[in-house]
């Protein structure tokens, strides 16, 4: 009798083991490198998300080289991982290795960048919508200023880069139809702190010492941080005299938010792996095909969102 119960229990246990085996156990992750703080945070979060789900994550840093990424993918396939995540360093040249993964029936998910291969070679791509980010920033400003007249100066990203083009277009779309808000000056700050400060200084000089500027829109936080410095040096109060809204949500901007020197930031979440693992689970467990593009949330943070706490939370991610 007892042996029967034990047998039944062990059978039950093995059944439940089997069902959990449907979820990916081992996932390979080929990361571009650690060229920016954001990418380091993405790596940290991917590891955390995998651990949370009990997934054994095989991590390979490609040191910015495509050949290393191809090698990593081939090794993952040879090892027989259950799924592969990749943040591809360039768009071209992935067909052969993706086909190999497909032949081995290993689903591949692209993180935050895309490839020019045929869409049936990968399961899905997880990324942010750059234009949407710009729109979220613009919507915030529209709501914040209400009917008041507002002249905006814009610090663009690197000329011609897709974040610069799309974040500009999104912001413009948001303020279109609100005639009280006008972009009076727009120049590139190259996504850097130093350049952001320098260009803001020239904006301030050109706009009556800054008295004619109501808000600053920067395509990334780094330029905003530089511009805040310039505003302070010009004797104005950033966040009050000139509103500051930017994109990315890196830790430093939360310090500025906490100090009242910045007003809002839109998060480019480094947590691309969370949605990727969720899609993978749905695919493995229920055979549910995800859409080919999964858009991550572009969350808006303002001074009301306890920036101190967010700063503490983000600080440890490796930004």
Partner 1 sequence: MNARTLPLLATVLIFIIAYALCYLQFPAILSTRVVGNLLTDNAFLGIVAVGMTFVIISGGIDLSVGSVIAFSGVFIAVMLRDTGLGPWPVFALLLVITTLFGAAMGATIHFLQMPPFIVTLAGMFLARGMAYVLSIDSVPINDETISVLQRLYWLMPGKGRLTLIGGLMLVVVVVGIIVAQRTRFGTNVYALGGGAQTARLMGVPVARTTMQVYAVSGFLAGLSGIVFAIYTSAGYSLATVGVELDAIAAVVIGGTLLTGGSGFVAGTLIGVLIMGLIQTYIIFDGTLSSWWTKIAIGMLLLGFIVLQKALVWAGGRRTEAAAGKG
Q: Which is nearer to partner 1, 47 or 185 (CB)?
A: 47
111: phi > 0 → left, psi -120 to 50 → alpha, else beta; which? beta
Q: Which of 254, 202, 252, 251 is nearest to 231 (CA)?
A: 202
What 3-state class would DSSP assign to 72? helix
Least Å from the CB of residue 287 to partner 1: 24
Minimum CB–partner distance for residue 44 and partner 1 (Å) = 13
Percent helix, strand, coil in the chain (nearest 5)?
50, 20, 30
Q: Where are the beta strands (DSSP E) in 82-141?
A: 83-86, 108-111, 124-127
Question: Which C-beta is closer to partner 1: that of 81 or that of 216?
Answer: 81
Residues that bind partner 1 (CB under 8 A): 28, 56-63, 65-68, 70-72, 74-80, 90-93, 95-96, 99-100, 104, 116
Smallest gap, in angstroms, from Cβ of residue 23 to partner 1? 18
Work out the angle between the directed axes of helices 193-206 and 221-233 (0-180°, nearest 10): 50
CA distance 112 to 3: 53
Q: Output 153 or 164, the one with its CB closest to partner 1.
A: 164
Q: Measured in whole angstroms, how far is the alpha carbon of residue 198 from the centre of its chain? A: 26
Minimum CB separation of residue 250 from partner 1 in Å reads: 23
Smaller CB distance to partner 1: residue 31 or 220? 31
Query: Measured between alpha carbons, how far is 18 from 97 in angstroms, rounded to an integer?
Result: 30
Residue 220, helix vs strand vs coil: coil
Cβ atoms < 10 Å from Cβ of 75:
14
**CA gyration radius for the chain?**
23
The least CB distance from residue 99 to partner 1, in Å, is: 8
Is the CB of 57 or the CB of 126 nearer to partner 1? 57
Kindly tell me which of 101 and 155 has the beta carbon lying closer to partner 1. 101
Residue 53 C-beta: closest distance to partner 1, Å: 16
Least distance CB 90 / partner 1 (angstroms): 5
> What is d(CA 223, CA 49) in angstroms, rounded to the nearest whole number?
30
Distance CA 199, CA 186 (A): 10
Q: Which is nearer to partner 1, 117 or 263 (CB)?
A: 117
CA distance 231 to 215: 11
């Amino acid at each position: 009798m007892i042996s029967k119960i034990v047998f039944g229990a062990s059978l039950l246990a093995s059944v439940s083991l089997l069902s959990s085996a449907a979820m990916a156990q081992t996932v390979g992750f080929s990361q571009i490198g650690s060229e920016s703080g954001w990418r380091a945070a993405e790596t940290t979060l991917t590891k955390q998300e995998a651990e949370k789900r009990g997934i054994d994550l095989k991590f390979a840093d490609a040191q910015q080289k495509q050949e290393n990424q191809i090698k990593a993918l081939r090794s993952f396939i040879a090892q027989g991982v259950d799924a592969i995540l990749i943040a591809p360093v360039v768009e071209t040249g992935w067909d052969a290795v993706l086909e190999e993964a497909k032949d081995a029936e290993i689903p591949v998910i692209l993180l935050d960048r895309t490839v020019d291969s045929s869409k049936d070679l990968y399961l899905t791509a997880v990324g942010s919508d750059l234009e949407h980010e710009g729109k979220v920033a613009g919507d915030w400003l529209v709501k914040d200023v209400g009917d008041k007249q507002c002249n905006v100066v814009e610090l663009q990203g690197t000329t011609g880069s897709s974040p610069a083009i799309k974040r500009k277009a999104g912001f413009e779309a948001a303020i279109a139809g609100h005639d009280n808000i006008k972009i009076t000056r727009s120049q590139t700050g190259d996504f850097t702190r130093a350049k952001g400060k320098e260009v803001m200084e020239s904006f301030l000089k050109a706009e009556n010492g800054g008295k004619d500027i109501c808000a600053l829109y920067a395509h990334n936080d780094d330029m905003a941080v530089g511009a805040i410095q310039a505003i302070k040096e010009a004797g104005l109060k950033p966040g009050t005299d000139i509103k500051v809204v930017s994109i990315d949500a890196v830790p430093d901007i939360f310090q500025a938010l906490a100090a009242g020197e910045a007003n809002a930031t839109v998060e480019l979440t480094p947590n691309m792996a969370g949605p990727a693992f969720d899609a993978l689970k749905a695919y493995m467990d229920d055979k549910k095909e995800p859409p080919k593009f999964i858009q991550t949330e572009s969350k808006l943070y303002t001074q009301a969102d306890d920036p101190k706490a967010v700063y503490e939370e983000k600080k440890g991610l490796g930004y």
